[in-house]
Amino acid sequence: MTNKRRSQEWFGRTDKSGFIARSWLKNQGLPNDVFDGRPVIGICNTWSELTPCNAHLRDLADQVKQGVLEAGGIAFEFPVMSLGEALMKPTTMLFRNLASMDVEETIRANPIDGVVLLVNCDKTTPACLMGAASVDLPTIVVSGGPMLNGKHHGKDLGSGTDLWKFSEDLRAQKITQEAFDQAENSMSRSPGACNTMGTASTLACMVEALGLTLPGGAAIPAVDANRRRLSRLAGRRIVAMVEQDQRLSQILTRQAFENAIVVNAAIGGSTNFILHLLAIAGRLGVELTLDDFDRLSQRVPLLANLKPSGDYLMEDFYYAGGVPAVISQLAHRLHGEVIQANGLCLTDNYRGGRSYNNAVIADAAAPVQEDAGTVVLRGNLAPDGAIIKPSAASPDLLCHTGRAFVFENIEHYNAVINDLTLPVEKDDILVMKGAGPRGYPGMPEVGNFGLPKKLLLEGVRDMVRISDGRMSGTAFGTIVLHVSPESEIGGTLALVQTGDFIELDAREKILHLRVSEDELARRRQRWTPTLPAITRGYASLYIATVQQAHLGADLDFLVGHSGDHIDREPHPE
C-alpha cells in the first residue's frame, strides 16, 4: 500500500500523534491492517428522523460501506446537519450555507481520502456538494431516491403539487375539510423524497447530469432494490476514484455545469436549481452567471411529462428510462467528452439510453413543449434579474400588464388574504416584498403564495405573482421569483405601490415597473430599511454576509475553496 494518501498524515505516523489517531479508533475493534494505507472513505450522511426524505439513508450507508470494504477500502460514517423541508422553520434555505460549512470542515478536519455524500431532501444535496467542493477530494453522490406514487381514490398523487391544488380547493370551498384530511394519509406512502419533479428530484437529476453519481441513479425509487445496489456500487467506485486521484474539480468543469443546465430544462426542473448550481460553481471558481441559464436553456424541448409541469411522477419516470433516456436525446446539445464519476465520458455512459414510454418521456421530435427553459427577466424592477418557469405557468399570462396589488411582507399577506372585501381584481399582479435572502431571512418558498379567497370563490386559479422569494419545485403558476436586488436592501421591488402598473413579457424577457425614474427617485429618498429581523447567532451572520439571489445566495466569505490541507497539528511533537 502507498503511504502518500491524505489519511496517512494521521495514520502513517510513528509518533504520539499517530498513536492517538490509531489507538482511539481501535476501541471499535479495528485491526492493525486497517491503518496500512488503504483508502479511507468518509460516508457523509444527512440521515435524520426529522428529515423524512432522508430517514432511510442509514440503510444506504450500510450498502456503501459494504462496497467500500469489497473494493479494499475502509469506511467511516459521519453525521452532518440535516435539512428537512417539511419541518424546519423559518426555511431550510437559511441553513443551507451553515450545513455546507459543517460538511466542509468535517471533511477537511478528518483523515479522509474520499467521500460519499448521502443526500436527498432539497437542501441536503446542494449543502453537501458546496461543502465538498470547497475541499475538493474524490467525491461521489448517492441520492436517496423519490417515494412511490401517492394513491388516492383511484388516482396518483404528487407530493406538494396536489397538496397546493387541494389547499386552494379547500379555501374555495370546492372540497370539505374531511376530504382534505383523507388525502393526507395517501400522499406520502413510502420512504423517499417528493415524487414530483420538485427540487429534491431536480437536484438528483442535476447530480447525474453533472456526472457525480453512477449513470441511471437519479430516479430509482427509494424502496427499489436497485437503489441499494447503486449505493453498494458507489462504495466500490469511490475507492477507485481515490486510487486514481479523481477529484471533484475534475468532474465539475464548466462543460459539466452547462450540461446540467440543458438537462434541467428538458426535465422541467425546479427553479431552485439555479440558486444551488450558482452556489456550487462559486465554491469551485467556475464562472457561471444567470445569463448562462437563460442562454443555455432556451429552445430546449421539454421531454419529461412530470408534475408540476406535466402529468406523471418520478416512479413513472424511472420505469420510462429516467435521465439516460433524456440525455440520449440531447446528445447533440451536450458536451459528450466530459469525464464522469465512473471514469467514463458522458457519451459512453448514455449511448444506450432510450424511452420506454413516450407518454412520460417524449421523443425530441414530438416534445411535451417546444421551448421549456427557465426565462431570466430583466427591467427596472429586476436589474440584476428575476426568473419565471414557463412550463409551469398559464400561457395566457406570460405576456401581461396589470395593476400591482402589494403585500409588504408575509405577515401582511396572511392578515388580509382571506378578506372577502379585499380590493383586488383577477387581472391584477400580486406583489410580495420581504421574502429575499436577507429580508425573511433565508429566501423562503413563499413565491407561490395563494390567491385571494375572494377570487378563488369566483373560480380564478392563477394570477401573475412577483416576489424576491423562491417557490417549491413542486409548485406551479405564473410566478416571477428571485427578484434581484431584493426589497430588503432597497431594490426597486421595495418601491412598488398598490396601483402601479407592471409589465411582464416572458417572451421578450421583460419585467418593468411603469413608474417614472423621477418618481422612483422620490420614493427612494423616502424609503428606510428595516432593522435586521435577528441580531444574534448564525442567522445574524447570514443576514450580514449573504449574497443576492443572482449570485446563488451563498455567504460572501464562503465563495471559493480552501482545499484539503491542514497546516497545524493538534498535538505538540
Looking at residue 54, the DSSP 8-state letter turns out to be G
CB 399 within 8 A of CB 433: no
Q: Closest by alpha carbon to 349, among 365, 326, 381, 316?
A: 326
CB 71 within 8 A of CB 240: yes
Rounded Cα–Cα distance for residues 172 and 458 (Å): 8
Neighbours of 39 (CB within 10 A): 25
Residue 98: all three cell numbers together: 451553515
User: Can you give the pLDDT at residue 2?
Assistant: 45
Phi first, then psi: give them for residue 61, nearest 5 degrees: -60, -40
Compute the half-sphere exposure of residue 22: CA atoms within 13 Å on the CB side of its CA: 18
- The verdict on residue 401 lying in a domain is yes
Rounded Cα–Cα distance for residues 463 and 447 (Å): 12
Segment 305-316 shows an average pLDDT of 93
* % of the chain exceeding 70 in pLDDT: 99
Query: How do residues 45-66 score in pLDDT, each as one tens digit?
Result: 999 999 999 999 999 999 999 9
How does the average pLDDT of the chain come out, rounded?
A: 95
- The contacts of residue 455 (CB under 8 Å, 6+ apart) are 424, 425, 426, 463
Residue 440: all three cell numbers together: 425573511
- The contacts of residue 414 (CB under 8 Å, 6+ apart) are none
Judging by beta carbons within 10 Å of its beta carbon (0-12, 13-18, 19+), is residue 29 exposed, middle or buried?
exposed
The residue type at 371: D
Q: What is the pTM of this model?
A: 0.95
**Residue 160 φ/ψ region, left for φ over 0, alpha for ψ in the -120 to 50 degree band, beta for the rest:** left
Looking at residue 546, the DSSP 8-state letter turns out to be B
Segment 455-478 shows an average pLDDT of 93
Neighbours of 370 (CB within 10 A): 9
- The verdict on residue 286 lying in a domain is no
Residue 146: all three cell numbers together: 423519490
Rounded Cα–Cα distance for residues 272 and 225 (Å): 29
Beta-sheet pairing, 114-119 with 74-79: unpaired
- The verdict on residue 504 lying in a domain is yes
Query: How do residues 369-404 score in pLDDT, each as one tens digit?
Result: 988 789 999 999 999 999 999 988 999 999 999 999
Burial 85-121 (b: 16+ CB within 10 A, else e): beebeebbbbbbbbbbbbbbebbbebbbbbbbbbbbb
3-state DSSP assignment of residue 404: strand
Q: How confident is residue 1, by pLDDT bands cut at 50, 70 and 90?
A: very low
The residue type at 204: A
- The verdict on residue 472 lying in a domain is yes
Which of 219-223, 229-233, 294-298, 339-343 shows the lowest mean pLDDT across its residues?
294-298
Q: Which H, E and C letters describe 351-396, residue by residue?
A: CCCCCCCCCCECCCCCCCECCCCCEEEEECCEEEEEEECHHHCCHH
User: Can you give the pLDDT at residue 573?
Assistant: 65
Any idea what the CATH number is for the domain that residue 403 is in? 3.50.30.80
- The verdict on residue 330 lying in a domain is no
Burial 228-251 (b: 16+ CB within 10 A, else e): bebbbbbbbbbbbbbbeebbbbbb
- The verdict on residue 565 lying in a domain is no
Segment 430-447 shows an average pLDDT of 96
Beta-sheet pairing, 114-119 with 40-45: parallel
Residue 420 has pLDDT above 50, yes or no: yes
Beta-sheet pairing, 139-143 with 114-119: parallel
CB 288 within 8 A of CB 277: yes
- The verdict on residue 390 lying in a domain is yes
* % of the chain exceeding 90 in pLDDT: 86
Rounded Cα–Cα distance for residues 510 and 58 (Å): 47
Segment 424-438 shows an average pLDDT of 97
Rounded Cα–Cα distance for residues 271 and 202 (Å): 9
Residue 470 has pLDDT above 90, yes or no: yes
For the chain, how many structural domains are there in total? Answer: 1
Q: Closest by alpha carbon to 562, among 136, 57, 26, 7?
A: 136
For 52-143, where are the alpha helices, taking DSSP H only?
A: 57-70, 93-109, 124-135
Rounded Cα–Cα distance for residues 111 and 39 (Å): 10
- The verdict on residue 280 lying in a domain is no
3-state DSSP assignment of residue 467: strand
User: Can you give the pLDDT at residue 3?
Assistant: 46
Residue 174: all three cell numbers together: 370546492
Cis peptide before 390 (omega within 30 of 0): no
User: What domain range includes position 439?
Assistant: 375-530
Phi first, then psi: give them for residue 376, nearest 5 degrees: -95, 120
Phi first, then psi: give them for residue 106, nearest 5 degrees: -65, -45
CB 266 within 8 A of CB 306: no
